[in-house]
Amino acid sequence: MIEKEALYKITYGLFVLTTKDGEKDNGCIVNTVAMITDNPKRITVYVNKNNYTEELIRKTGVFNASVLTEKATFSIFERFGFSSGRDTDKFAGTAYPRSENGLYYVDNGTNAFLSAKVVGVHDYGTHTLFVGEVTEGKVLSQDKSVSYEYYLSEIKPKPQVKPSEGEKWVCKICGYTYEGPLPEDFICPWCKHPAEDFEKVSG
Ligand code: FE
């Protein structure tokens, strides 16, 4: 048997993955950036195909990964993680700098960014694995990189529950709240995780 909990013991960081298609900038939060080879320097990232960012990286072949730190505020996760760039401009009202490849990177709540050019695209059903050759990398601060575990325990707000309320489910991954009985095939609109990652908090 495979205990699902065993997979939760893997450690991950968190990153803002940014792309650009023509005039349209986009970005999302991922926990899946890793280095694969040192010479040349290559990194991997896998992205859920439901994310607009996945489509843009496949189309344009470039991305930036900004490394989030323990000082990143919840607002950064909300801005990049909890809406779709298909119908919103995630960069509205921001003044982020651009790297040499013309893409935005995030310079607050981060400690580095890496730019990469895609050299491999691998289809794994729900996700696409991109291999990118690093074209630029810069250290932005000495703050500690955030782990997924730290985000869940220290940054993500705790759900507010009043005992009188009806049935309510909260996504364990991102905190999205659903009122009423949760459909079995429900997909979290914010982080795209399935119904099994929701927990009942009232009702
Ligand atoms: Fe979620």
Q: What is the tens place of the pLDDT at every residue in 57-102?
A: 999 999 999 999 999 999 999 899 877 777 788 898 899 999 999 9
61 alpha carbon to ligand 1 midpoint, in Å?
Answer: 27
Q: What is the pLDDT of residue 86?
A: 77
Instruction: Give the residue carrying structure tokens 């900004």.
Output: 66
pTM of the model: 0.85
81 alpha carbon to ligand 1 midpoint, in Å?
Answer: 9
**pLDDT over threshold 70, residue 164:** no
User: What distance in Å separates the CA atoms of residue 132 and residue 22, rounded to the nearest whole number?
Assistant: 20
Q: What is the tens place of the pLDDT at every residue in 10-51?
A: 999 999 999 998 888 999 999 999 999 999 999 999 999 988
Q: What is the tens place of the pLDDT at every residue in 172-199?
A: 888 888 998 999 999 998 888 899 999 9
170 alpha carbon to ligand 1 midpoint, in Å?
Answer: 8
- Surrounding ion ligand 1 within 5 Å at CB are 171, 173-174, 176, 188, 190-191, 193
136 alpha carbon to ligand 1 midpoint, in Å?
Answer: 31
Give the H or E element holding residue 129: strand 127-139
Burial 20-56 (b: 16+ CB within 10 A, else e): beeeebbbbbbbbbeeeeeeeebbbbbbbebbbbbbb
Q: What is the pLDDT of residue 186?
A: 94
Residues 6+ apart with CB under 8 A from 56: 19, 20, 21, 24, 26, 85
